[in-house]
Homo-oligomer: A and B are copies of this chain.
Amino acid sequence: MHIRSEKLSLQLENPFKISYGATTTRQNALVHLSDGELTGVGEAAVVPYYGETPERVTTYFENLPSALAENVLLLEDALTQLPPTESSAARAAVDMALHDLWAKKLGQPLYRLWGLNPERCATSSYTVALADDEAAYRKLVANAQGFPVVKLKLGSGSLDTDLKFTQIAMTLLSDAQICVDANGGWSAPDALKIIPQLAEMRVLFVEQPVAKHDFAGWRMLRQQLPKNMPPLIADESVQGVESVIPLAGLVDGINIKLAKCGGLQPARQMIALARALGMQVMIGCMVESSVAISAAATLTPLADYADLDGNLLITNDPYRGARNVHGKMMLPILPGLGVERLVE
């Protein structure tokens, strides 16, 4: 197995502002696994607020055992034998590359080997970041025109601003379903105040209202919110497979991201868990190229919601793969993840 690591510097079209801060570039990394005949590719999203660094990711790639996937047809062996790492993004990249190579060896698109119907992909939301003022927000919202599901990043620091932004989006995008994501930016008491108002505005769901580790907050919401609220979806509170069961009874759904959970194999286990626990499933992403987005898109026939616009936010995606046509995800029919390199 030949392993090649590649740095991937992604340029954001607009500075991306959420409750953590703002950013204009992202330093992701690709891994290419080749058995001499075919090559699989995977991507690690290096998200600083998840503690990832480009060095940690490429070190993981470069220290993979050379005997990795000697027989890539034994995919489960290769996945199970991956060296442990604290970098979920690095593991996710290798997991994607192994799935890509495995499905190419079998000559089939990955969704076919999972028996999935590519017509059933969940509709992807388009994300609207925070803005400094209403005028700037109107401009951001205008970019979402034509998308059937639009996700507003809230947690601006002011509930009034959050509500005002939501009202602007509801007005300008009256044909769209609007969902909101606080990225943990509310206290539980604030969430208790704002969620019923968002419910009246008929938001589709509320994502990560309280902070990542604020399980008492989740519990308070569950106990004190009135009935018939929009589903509460956990995102930052969800990491890998082990994070799902502790959320049982506290949240209505989980946002699964490959870079958080370690790849397609754990993601599919999490979907099985979520379904057994009666939870909804969202497939999300980071700022990523078409490599990671296409891998995540392959899971969307199993999901209720998708949020796979990470590659729409960048100007220098070196690949093409799954397409997001105004929210409708279209999976490529090529073998593997179905991605093709466009530029060197």
- A residues near B, CB below 8 A? 73-77, 79, 102, 106, 108, 112-117, 120, 241-242, 244-245, 248, 268-269, 272-273, 275-277, 301-302
Q: Are A245 and B117 in contact (CB under 8 A)?
A: no
Q: A102-B115, A106-B108, A112-B106 are in contact. Are A241 and B276 (CB under 8 A)?
A: yes
Residue of A79, A115, A116, A272 with most chain B CB atoms under a 10 A cut-off: A115
Cβ of A266 to closest chain B Cβ, rounded Å:
10
Q: Are A113 and B116 in contact (CB under 8 A)?
A: no
Q: Which residues of B contact A245 (CB under 8 A)?
A: 248, 276-277
What are 20 contact pairs spanning A and B, CB under 8 A? Answer: A73-B115, A74-B115, A74-B116, A74-B117, A76-B117, A76-B302, A77-B117, A106-B106, A106-B108, A106-B113, A113-B113, A241-B276, A242-B276, A245-B248, A245-B276, A268-B272, A269-B272, A269-B275, A272-B273, A273-B273
Q: Are A75 and B273 in contact (CB under 8 A)?
A: no
Cβ of A102 to closest chain B Cβ, rounded Å:
6
Cβ of A104 to closest chain B Cβ, rounded Å:
13
Q: Indicate which residue in B79, B112, B272, B301 contacts A272 across the interface (CB closer than 8 Å).
A: B272
Q: Which residues of B contact A277 (CB under 8 A)?
A: 245
Q: Which residues of B contact A120 (CB under 8 A)?
A: 77
Cβ of A276 to closest chain B Cβ, rounded Å:
5
* Nearest opposing residue in chain B for A242, CB measure: B276
Residue of A74, A77, A102 with most chain B CB atoms under a 10 A cut-off: A74
* Nearest opposing residue in chain B for A99, CB measure: B115
* Nearest opposing residue in chain B for A273, CB measure: B276
Q: Which residues of B contact A301 (CB under 8 A)?
A: 76
Q: Indicate which residue in B76, B248, B273, B276 contacts A115 across the interface (CB closer than 8 Å).
A: B76
Residue of A112, A241, A242 with most chain B CB atoms under a 10 A cut-off: A112
Cα separation A165 to B245 with both chains bound (whole Å): 41
Q: Which residues of B contact A248 (CB under 8 A)?
A: 245
Q: Which residues of B contact A108 (CB under 8 A)?
A: 106
Cβ of A234 to closest chain B Cβ, rounded Å:
16
Cα separation A120 to B272 with both chains bound (whole Å): 23
Q: Are B112 and A73 in contact (CB under 8 A)?
A: yes
Q: Are B269 and A75 in contact (CB under 8 A)?
A: no
Q: Which residues of B contact A77 (CB under 8 A)?
A: 117, 120
Q: Indicate which residue in B79, B112, B244, B276 contacts A269 across the interface (CB closer than 8 Å).
A: B276
Cβ of A326 to closest chain B Cβ, rounded Å:
24
Cα separation A302 to B272 with both chains bound (whole Å): 15
* Nearest opposing residue in chain B for A106, CB measure: B108
* Nearest opposing residue in chain B for A78, CB measure: B115
Residue of A73, A244, A248, A268 with most chain B CB atoms under a 10 A cut-off: A73
